Amino acid sequence: MLTSRTLTFVKRSAAIGAVALATASLQPVAAHAAPAPIVGGTPAAQNEFPFMVHLSMGCGGALYKKDIVLTAAHCVEFTGNDTSITATAGVVDLNAPGAIKVKSKKVLTAPGYNGKGKDWALIKLARPIDRPTLKIATNTRYNKGTFTIAGWGDTKENAGTGSDKLLKAKVPFISDTKCKQHYGNRLVAGQEICAGYPRGGIDTCQGDSGGPMFRKDDSGAWLQVGIVSWGDGCARPGVPGVYTEVSKFASAISRAAATL
């Protein structure tokens, strides 16, 4: 996503949502910035990441359950009934004839979300999507190593167009200490996890918000460790992407899903 590195920063969605908290924010309830469809990414193969979901407000997400999408809080406006969102799944090309499109029924934003930290939300779908779900991390064991990112967002900073094709890339874990060298106290340690290359060049971006950051667990299954949240610009040298640390909120997400 776009943001001045010294003045303002915005979330990494292309959605129009709730009132922004930053004076020059381009995203809903944004007090931060976010990463690309994947800047520096390559095309994903059909069914490579079958849990991926594109959301019509300009965000991404993953199937937490067959009828529930896990995404970012800044992608939605409130908690309650909402039939305005269209979830597209089953394809890497959004224009492909086999696309599965399902309307939303309800949304639930993380309790206490105010634009900083706690950037997760659930979208209840009008009917289940018969695609594999993505398991989420319940502890910090896998919050290290190299992660996979995927999305339909911008391929470069300020592009503002997004991508019809799902792109993917790999990014390495960045410690809170190193991440704070750029973001300082803007980083909510313990609730957010950083990833990226010191040289830049590969990152999520505007339009990727809400999508998963994931890796393989010991059994070889995909496991979600992060949610695309924010960052200063896209793929800039020395500027990591910031993701919601899923394991921190795994219990809260499970409880919330049970109420939908």
Which amino acids are annotated catalytic?
A: 74, 119, 209
Strand pairing of 146-151 and 212-216? antiparallel
- Give the H/E segment covering residue 141: none
Taking Cα atoms as reference points, which of 176, 173, 179, 234 lies closest to residue 209? 234
> Please, which residues have CB within 8 angstroms of residue 157's CB and are 6 or more apart in sequence?
2, 36, 39, 205, 206, 233, 234, 235, 236
**Whole-angstrom Cα distance, residue 146 to residue 229?**
18
**Whole-angstrom Cα distance, residue 15 to residue 207?**
8
